[in-house]
Amino acid sequence: MTLVLVPTSREAERLQAVWQAAGGLPSGAHVALCGFGMVAAAARTAHLVETQRPTSVLLVGIAGAYSSGPPIGAALSFGSVVCHGIGAGEGASFLSAAQIGWPQWAGDSTDDLPEIGDRISLDSSSNSVETSELLSVCAASGSVEEAERRCQRHPLAVAEDMEGFAVALACRLASAPLRIVRGISNQAGQRDIGQWRINDALVAAADLALRMLRESLSP
Query: Could you report the per-residue pLDDT of 102-158, keeping only the tens digit for each?
Result: 999 998 877 788 899 999 999 875 444 568 999 999 999 999 999 999 999 999 999
Using DSSP, state whether 181 is helix, strand or coil: strand
Q: What is the pLDDT of residue 112?
A: 80
Higher pLDDT, 107 or 169: 169
Q: Could you tell me if 159 and 170 are in contact, meaning their C-beta atoms sit under 8 angstroms apart?
A: no
- Domain spans in the chain, listed from the N-terminal domain onward: 2-217
Q: State the Cα–Cα distance between residues 82 and 98, nearest whole angstrom.
A: 11
First to last CA, the chain: 13
Q: Could you tell me if 184 and 74 are in contact, meaning their C-beta atoms sit under 8 angstroms apart?
A: yes
What share of the chain in percent tops pLDDT 90?
A: 89
Q: What is the pLDDT of residue 41?
A: 98
Read off the pTM: 0.95
Contacts of 71 (CB under 8 A, 6+ apart): 65, 184
Q: What is the pLDDT of residue 125?
A: 57
Q: What is the pLDDT of residue 218?
A: 78
Per-residue pLDDT at 8 exceeds 90: yes
Closest alpha carbon to 210 in 169, 170, 184, 179: 179
CATH of segment(s) 2-217: 3.40.50.1580
